[in-house]
Amino acid sequence: MDRVLHQARSSTIVGDVNLHDWIDELCDALDVEVDLDEALILDVAKEAAHRVERPAAPISAFLLGYAAARYDGDPDHVERLAGIATDLALRWDRSADDVAHEDDDPEVEDELASLDA
């Protein structure tokens, strides 16, 4: 099985585990080969966690990977997509209630309310 190719900006060590080793092992376990800029992915996750909420970090990383797959993981496209995700997180200032009701149609809401009456 091929080993993962890295565009490492730094060597990240968490406890006794080196992030690069973890990525290599996970890629082997998942049977994938990828040109990965982990610092870019971590930046997206950091902004999503801090600007939106913590669970947004892994979800954002997953969705970034999913979107990147459409472009066969091309590093230029991944960087562009990561920029889009980061920009969205940086602009995020809506409450959960605003987001939950952003697609509400006032006419439909009025009609539903009249049916409940």
Reported as a single tens digit per residue, the pLDDT across 28-85 is 999 999 888 999 999 999 999 999 999 999 999 999 999 999 999 999 999 999 999 9
Looking at the fold, whether 29 and 58 belong to one and the same domain comes out as no
Looking at the fold, whether 42 and 19 belong to one and the same domain comes out as no
Chain centroid to Cα 95, Å, comes to 20
Looking at the fold, whether 14 and 67 belong to one and the same domain comes out as no
Looking at the fold, whether 57 and 13 belong to one and the same domain comes out as no
Specify the pLDDT at position 95.
59
d(CA 79, CA 52): 20
Looking at the fold, whether 97 and 86 belong to one and the same domain comes out as yes
Tokens for 69? 């797959």
Report the domain count for the chain: 2
Looking at the fold, whether 1 and 54 belong to one and the same domain comes out as no
Residue span of the structural domain in which 105 resides: 38-116
pTM: 0.66
Sorting pLDDT into bands at 50, 70 and 90, what band is 109?
Answer: confident
Q: Is the pLDDT of residue 98 over 70?
A: no
The number of helix segments (H) and strand segments (E) in the chain equals 6, 4
Chain centroid to Cα 113, Å, comes to 37
